[in-house]
A and B are shown apart, each in its own frame.
Chain A
């Protein structure tokens, strides 16, 4: 019985990943690598590949969070992101959690983390070590410390080099949802 539920969950999860991949394949670039373990599919990009995620021109609110499994304040605020993703994802709202974990940690740490925490928001990996070339393209004022978050809708955009409480994050998200 337990096994069956697991299998169904896995299938459902997989279905959504496939759907996700399909709906994005038209606008987003080719990943550097696609990891697929335990029903979790995870794409890694260099910065050029990630950039379209940061510059979508439509009326969806995008929340992009830069994090890593080893970053304590990042992991601490992730449940707030997850909770608000659940709350708002039915509308024109898209959350992307950009992992900056080192490539050698993707299979050993990131995928098990996604699985254990049952993360529902989309996770992608940014693998582009020459950060000096891209940090200011994310946000001019970013020093490079994580956690860091961008919220944007079309031309309206805010960057946050800070940790969030759930209330703080929701206030910011609401200011983009008119």
Chain B
């Protein structure tokens, strides 16, 4: 059993190195985002290709435990309610390894999704395989994708807005502004932003 564990660790380290060498910084604006098939809190697999009618996606790496993620939960629900019907649903992904952060286990994701009444899929990045491809480093970390003939093109990377601690003091709604621009077939003005967040525990 122990040997198996070590072998797994070596393999995992190899995989991570492979990712970081082929794709050191993850996606940039204009990259084609990978699709995935990840387990939702209802135990069903969710993939981007399932959304035939969507014009794009608001992919948010988030989690249960991080105070920044918690501060944004209601705002993430609002984003989904507003933009799902316009063709840009929220897809939330928990990238953390529950062995490193026990509050981010699949069971606790189910509890949190129910408590808060998440209107969007809340997926578990089992084995922490998807977030390194995107290049997410923290929670919350947003990627807005636009569906095109070439695939899902990354149009925005960064923060939800410019004030995590006080929603009433928000001046720049980065995600809303970006999706609004895409819906009007305009260029996204602010394409990348940075915010403080909890480092992803892999």
> What separation, in Å, do the CA atoms of A32 and B63 have in the docked complex?
31
B198 at the interface (CB under 8 A from A): yes
> What separation, in Å, do the CA atoms of A102 and B174 have in the docked complex?
21
Chain B interface mostly: loop
B164 and A132 within 8 A (CB): no
A82 at the interface (CB under 8 A from B): no
B195 at the interface (CB under 8 A from A): yes
A20 at the interface (CB under 8 A from B): no
B166 and A131 within 8 A (CB): no
Contacts from A to B (Cβ < 8 Å): 68, 70-73, 100, 102-104, 129-133, 135-136, 142-147, 161
Whether A103 contacts B195 in the complex (CB less than 8 A), given A72-B101, A143-B138, A145-B138, comes out as no
> What separation, in Å, do the CA atoms of A130 and B163 have in the docked complex?
6
B43 at the interface (CB under 8 A from A): no
> What separation, in Å, do the CA atoms of A70 and B67 have in the docked complex?
8
**A135 CB contacts on chain B under 8 angstroms:** 194-196
A144 and B166 within 8 A (CB): no
Minimal beta-carbon separation of B194 from chain A (angstroms)? 4
B199 at the interface (CB under 8 A from A): yes
B198 is contacted by which of A102, A146, A161 (Cβ under 8 Å)?
Answer: A146
B165 is contacted by which of A70, A103, A136, A147 (Cβ under 8 Å)?
Answer: A103
A146 and B193 within 8 A (CB): no
B162 is contacted by which of A71, A100, A129 (Cβ under 8 Å)?
Answer: A129
**B138 CB contacts on chain A under 8 angstroms:** 143-145
B101 and A144 within 8 A (CB): no
Contacts from B to A (Cβ < 8 Å): 66-67, 71, 101, 137-138, 158-159, 162-166, 169, 171, 174, 193-201
**A133 CB contacts on chain B under 8 angstroms:** 162
> What separation, in Å, do the CA atoms of A104 and B194 have in the docked complex?
23
| Smallest Cβ-Cβ distance to B136: which chain A residue | A143
**A103 CB contacts on chain B under 8 angstroms:** 165
> What separation, in Å, do the CA atoms of A102 and B169 have in the docked complex?
15
Whether A143 contacts B137 in the complex (CB less than 8 A), given A71-B198, A132-B162, A132-B193, comes out as yes
Minimal beta-carbon separation of A35 from chain B (angstroms)? 17
A102 and B67 within 8 A (CB): yes
A145 is contacted by which of B163, B174, B199 (Cβ under 8 Å)?
Answer: B199
B169 and A129 within 8 A (CB): yes
Whether A131 contacts B137 in the complex (CB less than 8 A), given A70-B67, A102-B165, A103-B165, comes out as no
> What separation, in Å, do the CA atoms of A161 and B174 have in the docked complex?
24
**A142 CB contacts on chain B under 8 angstroms:** 194
| Smallest Cβ-Cβ distance to B198: which chain A residue | A71
A144 and B137 within 8 A (CB): yes
Minimal beta-carbon separation of B27 from chain A (angstroms)? 13
Q: A72-B101, A132-B194, A144-B196 are in contact. List 19 more A-B contacts (CB 8 A).
A: A70-B66, A70-B67, A73-B201, A104-B165, A129-B162, A129-B164, A130-B171, A131-B159, A132-B162, A132-B195, A133-B162, A135-B194, A135-B195, A142-B194, A143-B194, A144-B137, A144-B197, A146-B199, A147-B199
